[in-house]
């Protein structure tokens, strides 16, 4: 794989895990974090992933995000077998196709909002004259057009998470992986962030895969997958309120 065009953007299943296992350690110290799971995420879905600590959900997300590799099984992204990619190719996959949002925002403290959003574009090798308009557009998309020059300390928690989301979508990713995106926010701000994720999913067609411990936040998704002891315990559609 030499560039982003290698992937089949028309493939209906953007994520396809088949018989995926992940073990750590050996012998009596072996821990099976994932045990032969099958999981398919179709293009344009909004899926919430739930489960207690140690259930395997974070391991699955790390594999999907190409931050880790399975011990066994197959992972196909946009129809391409990820296990056949080398480290550089997996990095290209992350850079071109996946956006990440974390509970802790992970913003650079002394850097302005627009400069934080520009970071993924720097990794792509874009010049500042190319990066800045894209970053400003992403900030406008999340409702922070007037906060481009503010540092994280000058922003509320909700605004910082919006900056983090703008940074995740500035590359126009196929998939947005959100790990407890409302974990550090109050109820009202959490609802605002979830409304934003829903809008990005419905209006831009971004596939959203979100880890959460909160049933109220999972209710914003259209599908909930629950992990338990390294396996998928349930997989169901979310019933819309009448």
- The per-residue pLDDT for range 150-207, each reduced to its tens digit, is 999 999 999 999 999 999 999 999 999 999 999 889 999 999 999 999 999 999 999 9
Q: Where are the alpha helices (DSSP H) in 76-156?
A: 87-97, 113-123, 128-141
pLDDT score of 149: 96
pLDDT score of 1: 45
Residues in Cβ contact with 238 at an 8 Å cutoff, skipping those fewer than 6 apart: 48, 218, 219, 221, 222, 223, 224
- DSSP summary character for residue 44: T
Q: How many CB atoms lie within 10 A of CB 166?
A: 27
Angle at 46 between CA 139 and CA 41, to 5 degrees: 120
Length of the chain: 242
- DSSP summary character for residue 242: -
Q: For 12-29, what is each residue's pLDDT tens digit?
A: 899 999 999 999 988 878
Nearest CA to 23 out of 32, 14, 10 is that of: 32
pTM of the model: 0.90
What CA–CA distance (Å, rounded) separates 210 from 60? 12
HSE of 63, CA atoms in CB hemisphere, 13 A:
30
**Phi and psi of 111, rounded to 5°?**
-115, 140
What CA–CA distance (Å, rounded) separates 48 from 213? 10
Enter the tokens of residue 24.
């750590």
What CA–CA distance (Å, rounded) separates 105 from 101? 7
Query: Which residue is associated with the tokens 């996946």?
Result: 98
Q: Which domains does the chain show, CATH number per domain?
A: 9-237 (3.40.50.300)
Q: For 60-73, what is each residue's pLDDT tens digit?
A: 999 999 999 999 99
pLDDT score of 3: 47
Angle at 206 between CA 180 and CA 93, to 5 degrees: 85
Q: What percent of the chain has pLDDT over 70?
A: 94
């Amino acid at each position: 794989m030499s560039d982003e065009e290698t992937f089949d953007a028309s493939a209906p299943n953007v994520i396809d895990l088949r018989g995926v296992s992940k073990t750590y350690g050996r012998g009596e110290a072996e821990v099976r974090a994932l045990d032969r799971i099958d999981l398919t995420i179709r293009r344009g879905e909004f899926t919430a992933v739930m489960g207690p600590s140690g259930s395997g959900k974070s391991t699955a997300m790390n594999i999907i995000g190409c931050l880790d590799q399975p011990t066994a099984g197959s992972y196909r992204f946009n129809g391409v077998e990820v296990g056949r990619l080398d480290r550089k190719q997996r990095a290209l996959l992350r850079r071109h196709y996946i956006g990440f949002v974390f509970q802790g925002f992970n913003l650079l403290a002394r850097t302005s909002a627009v400069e934080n959003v520009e970071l993924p574009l720097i990794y792509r090798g874009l010049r500042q004259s190319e990066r800045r308009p894209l970053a400003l557009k992403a900030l406008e998309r999340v409702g922070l057009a007037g906060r481009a020059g503010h540092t994280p300390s000058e922003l509320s928690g909700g605004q910082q998470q919006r900056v983090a989301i703008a940074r995740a979508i500035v590359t126009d990713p196929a998939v947005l992986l959100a790990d407890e995106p409302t974990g550090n926010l109050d109820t009202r701000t959490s609802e605002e962030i979830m409304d934003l994720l829903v809008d990005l999913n419905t209006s831009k067609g971004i596939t959203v895969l979100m880890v959460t411990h909160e049933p109220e936040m999972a209710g914003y998704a259209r599908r909930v997958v629950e992990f338990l002891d390294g396996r998928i315990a349930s997989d169901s559609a979310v019933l819309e309120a009448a």
